[in-house]
Amino acid sequence: MKVILALNQAAGDQAAFNVFQQVIDNGARVLGLATGSTPEGLYRLLRESSLDFSAMTSVNLDEYVGIAPDNPQSYHYFMNQHLFNAKPFAHSYLPNGLATDPDAEVKRYDQVVADNPVDLQLLGIGRDGHIGFNEPGSPFDGGTHRVKLTESTIEANARFFASKDEVPREAYTMGIGTILKSREILLMAYGDKKADAVQKMVEGPLTTAVAASALQKMDNVVVIVDPAAAAKLQPASISKRL
C-alpha cells in the first residue's frame, strides 16, 4: 500500500484524476466505481475532462436494498448525476436494490464482476473502516452479499436523507474478496472523521474488525488522504507528499 498525503482535498482529487487518466491511457477497460461524498470532486474532474468512457464498462461497489434506480437516494441515481449522464459508459452495472430473489442477485452480480475484471477500483472508507458496505466482521475472501448496515454507517449516511429513519437498513455490496481481485485499487479519504479508520487501515493489525485493513499488504493499492484524514498516521507511513 502506498499512502499519498495531498496538501488538501483539491490536490487529492487532482492526484486521483491523474491515476484514472494513467490507467485509461494504459488501456483499462473496466472501472470499479464508488459513491458517497468523497469521490464527488474526482467525478467533477472526470466530467469536465476530455476522457471518453463510451467504449468502457463500469461496475459499482454497492446499492441500497429496497430503492429503485430512479429514486434520488439510490446509488444508481447518484452515478447518473455525478458521472454517467455527462460521460456514458458502454455498459454500467450496479446491484439491483429491488431484486426479489437476493440469492440470485448476489450470484448475478458476482458473475458481472467475473465477466468484467476490474482494472481500477475506486474506494472510499467508512468511519468504521468499511469498504463498499463490508461492515466490521466481513470475511476477507467474501463475494457479493446482502448486508445489514451498522448503526455508525446509518448515522453517517443520514445526512443524505430527510431523517435517519429513512436510511435503508440493508444493502448489496461486492465482498472484500471481490474488491481484492481488482488489478489496481485507489482509496480516497478526506476529513478528520476518517482519521481513526485510516490509521487502523494503514498501521493497525490485519483484522476483519477493520475491513480496509485487508488492503494493507497489497502492493497494488494507492491511498490518497488530506492532512485531516492523515492526522493519526506515523510520518513513516506516508510514501509521498503532494
Pairing state between β 91-93 and 184-189: unpaired
Residue 172: count other Cβ atoms within 10 Å of its Cβ: 25
Rounded to a whole number of angstroms, the minimum distance from the CB of residue 141 to ligand PGA is 20
What phi and psi, each to the nearest 5 degrees, are found at residue 56? -105, 170
DSSP 53: -
The residue whose Cβ lies closest to ligand PGA is 36
Distances (CA, A) of 123 to 117, 129, 165, 170, 178: 16, 11, 26, 19, 13
Residues with catalytic roles:
62, 128, 130, 135
Q: Which is nearer to ligand PGA, 130 or 200 (CB)?
A: 130
Q: Which is nearer to ligand PGA, 88 or 154 (CB)?
A: 154
Q: Are 102 and 183 in contact (CB under 8 A)?
A: no
Rounded to a whole number of angstroms, the minimum distance from the CB of residue 236 to ligand PGA is 26
Rounded to a whole number of angstroms, the minimum distance from the CB of residue 126 to ligand PGA is 4
Interface residues toward ligand PGA, by CB under 6 A: 36-38, 124-126, 130
For 117, half-sphere exposure in the C-beta direction (CA atoms, 13 angstrom radius) is 6
Q: Which is nearer to ligand PGA, 76 or 130 (CB)?
A: 130
Rounded to a whole number of angstroms, the minimum distance from the CB of residue 100 to ligand PGA is 27
Q: Are 20 and 49 in contact (CB under 8 A)?
A: no
Rounded to a whole number of angstroms, the minimum distance from the CB of residue 239 to ligand PGA is 22
Distances (CA, A) of 200 to 151, 175, 179, 197, 211: 19, 19, 19, 5, 10
Q: Which is nearer to ligand PGA, 3 or 131 (CB)?
A: 131
Tell me the three cell numbers of residue 15.
492526484
Q: Which is nearer to ligand PGA, 91 or 148 (CB)?
A: 148
d(CA 16, CA 23): 11
What are the DSSP calls for 56-94, one per residue?
-EEEESEEETT--TTSTTSHHHHHIIIIITTS--SEEE-
